[in-house]
Structure 1
Amino acid sequence: MLKNLDPLLSADVLHALSAMGHGDELVICDANFPADSVARATVTGKLLRLDGVDAARAIRAVLSVMPLDTFVDDPALRMEVVGEPDTVPAVQREAQAEVNRAEGRDLPFASIERFAFYERARRAYCVIATGEQRGYGCFMFKKGVLLAPDAPQGNRT
């Protein structure tokens, strides 16, 4: 056991999160997503799992240790509902609440079309599969940086 770490985060997931660099992306996906085949094309080349939890709970765990990128407009993406890009299902609203909580502010998801999501996911650092059974519980996050308090913060581009 480790102090102040979400017990949901396994050693494999923590290793991947720690190894990721600024701008690397990770996918948190539902049980319907082709996670294993997509994960084989990622940087890690293997699927990571957080079985038995829904997407929102997995997002809470991951964002408890991973900063989101503040240098891009859309560090959090959600998969669009096919044919209804403006529809935001309950699973995505729950995930949105976790992102806002982790960031301490409203940070709306940008949306990405389903097949574009699959293609971009193949270029991600890693894929984390959850036990989420509802459709469209698929999300992508871009890792940010943690700077020392006295370090220059830089301009957001």
Structure 2
Amino acid sequence: MLKGIPPIISPDLMKALMEMGHGDEIVLADGHFPAASHASQLIRCDGHGIPELLDAILKFLPLDSYTDHPIALMAVVPGDPVQPTIWEEYKGIVEDQCEQSIPFEFMDRFAFYERTKKSFAVVATSEKAQYANIILKKGVTL
């Protein structure tokens, strides 16, 4: 065990975060997401939700400051009455960890799936909230 690394960050996840380069993306997938069929590299994080994982990852992962939207979310499908409240939680975590407000991009469901297939890794969680999927684009350390 190493000091200062949150226990939710598994060795496989830490390895992936370290191997990612500028512009690479990692997807944190909720329990509803077809993670295994869309991942080039699948990392399991069963039993955990995305907010606690996002908070831990942002301690290490710099977000891309050279793009307008280093964070992307899956938009609600038109006609679906769900109003995701988890997005506000994400906003608070990002502001706390990054010390600034970062605008989120909202993507159509199928565009999100296609972008996921090109991502560096997909982290499968047990998050129960709908529309909780989030893509993070890695930046450079300043």
Q: Does 1:17 align with 2:12?
A: no
Q: Does 1:53 align with 2:80?
A: no
Stretches of structure 2 that go unaligned for 5 or more consecutive residues are: none
CA shift for structure 1 position 4 = 1.2
Give the structure-1-normalised TM-score.
0.85
Aligned-residue CA RMSD in angstroms?
1.5
* Contact kept in structure 2, 1:47 and 1:128, CA below 8 Å: yes
Across the two proteins, how many residue pairs are aligned to each other? 141
Q: How far apart, in 2, do the equivalents of 1:10 and 1:122 lie?
A: 22
Q: Which residue of 1 aligns with 2:75?
A: 80
CA shift for structure 1 position 10 = 0.5
**Distance change in 2, residues 1:84/1:18 (3 Å):** farther
Q: Which residue of 2 aligns with 1:33?
A: 33
User: Which aligned pairs between 1:4-153 and structure 2 lie closer than 5 A?
Assistant: 4-39=4-39, 42=40, 46-83=41-78, 89-147=84-142
* Contact kept in structure 2, 1:51 and 1:131, CA below 8 Å: yes
Structure with more contact order per residue of length (Cα contacts < 8 Å, sep ≥ 6): 2
One-letter identity of the residue aligned with 1:31: G
CA shift for structure 1 position 98 = 1.1
**Distance change in 2, residues 1:63/1:88 (3 Å):** farther
Q: Which of 1 and 2 has greater Rg?
A: 1
Give the structure-2-normalised TM-score.
0.93
Moved beyond 4 Å, runs of 4+: none
CA shift for structure 1 position 53 = 1.6
One-letter identity of the residue aligned with 2:45: L
* Contact kept in structure 2, 1:6 and 1:64, CA below 8 Å: no
CA shift for structure 1 position 88 = 5.5
% identical aligned pairs: 40
Q: Which residue of 2 aligns with 1:3?
A: 3
Q: How far apart, in 2, do the equivalents of 1:123 and 1:115 lie?
A: 13
Does the residue aligned with 1:49 lie in a helix, a strand or coil? Answer: strand
**Distance change in 2, residues 1:75/1:84 (3 Å):** farther
